[in-house]
Amino acid sequence: MRNFVTIEGCEGVGKTYQTKLLKQYCLEKGLDVVFTREPGGSDIAEQIRRIILDADNKDMDDLCEAFLYAASRIQHLKDIVKPALAQGKTVICDRYVDSSYVYQGLGRGLGLDKIVRLNEIAVGEYMPEFTIFLDLSPENAFKRKGGADQSDRIEAVGYDFHLKVYNGYKRLIAENPDRFEVIDASGTKEQTQAKLREVLVRRGVLK
C-alpha cells in the first residue's frame, strides 16, 4: 500500500526512539506524517496490547497470542491507518505484520505459513510499501539496554527465542529484498537517525 511504511527490528534496537525523532523532524518541517505503533495505537487495540504483554498471562497459548496480535492489528488499521492513508497521508508504523511472522511464526514455532495466512485475513491489501529493518543482534541490543524487561511477557522470553526472531527477520529480508530497507543500528542514535532519513528521502517519503 503506497505511503505505508513500517519499522521492524528486535527488542531495544531503537525503533521507538528513532520514530520519536522522526516525528519531531516532521513536525518542524510541517510534513503531514502519521506515526503509530503496534500492538496498540488506538483505544481498543491498546487494551488488547495490555493483555498480550501482561507478564501475569504466562499460560497464554501461542496461537491465542497470534490471534490477539492479529485482532489488535485489525482494530488499529480501522482506527488509524486506513483513515490516514485515505486522506493521502503517509503512515509510519513501529512494528507490523513482520513482527507476527517472526515472533509467532518462527520464534514461537507456529510456522510461517500459518501466520502469513492468519494475517492475510487481518490486513488484506494493507501490506507496507516498504519496511525498514533496524539491524542489531539481540545480544548487542540487550547489552546496550542493560538486559531484558521482565515485566514484558515477550521481552522476558529467553535469548534463544530472540535469536530465532533475529534470524527470522534475516530470512524475510532474503525472501523479500525489494520490500526491505536494512539499516545498521549499531551506531549512535544520531547516526541511525541520519541513515533512516536518507532511506525515507530516497523512497520519496521525506523531502
Ligand X SMILES: Nc1ncnc2c1ncn2[C@@H]1O[C@H](COP(=O)(O)OP(=O)(O)OP(=O)(O)O)[C@@H](O)[C@H]1O
- Going by their DSSP bridges, the two strands 33-37 and 130-135 should be labelled as unpaired
Site track 146-175 with ligand X (rule: CB under 6 A), x = hit: ---------x--------------------
C-alpha cell at 28: 518542524
Q: Which is nearer to ligand X, 15 or 108 (CB)?
A: 15
C-alpha cell at 201: 528521502
Q: Does 189 interact with ligand X (rule: CB under 6 A)?
A: yes
Cα 163–chain centre separation: 17
Task: Return the residue of 2, 147, 177, 188 that touches ligand X, per CB under 6 A.
Answer: 188
Q: Does 192 interact with ligand X (rule: CB under 6 A)?
A: yes
Task: Return the residue of 4, 6, 8, 15 that touches ligand X, per CB under 6 A.
Answer: 15
Q: How far is 130 from 140, CA to CA, in rounded Å?
A: 25
CB of 35 to ligand X, least distance (A): 13
Q: Which is nearer to ligand X, 150 or 188 (CB)?
A: 188
Which partner, Mg ion, ligand X, none, binds residue 14 by CB below 5 to 8 Å per kind? ligand X
3-state secondary structure of 186: coil
- Cis previous bond, 83, omega within 30: no
Cα distances (angstroms) measured from residue 149 to each of 144, 145, 146, 206: 13, 9, 9, 33
CA-closest candidate to residue 129, choices 198, 70, 178:
178
Which partner, ligand X, Mg ion, none, binds residue 203 by CB below 5 to 8 Å per kind? none
Q: Does 14 interact with ligand X (rule: CB under 6 A)?
A: yes
Q: Which residues bind ligand X (CB under 6 A)?
A: 9, 11-17, 144-145, 155, 188-189, 192
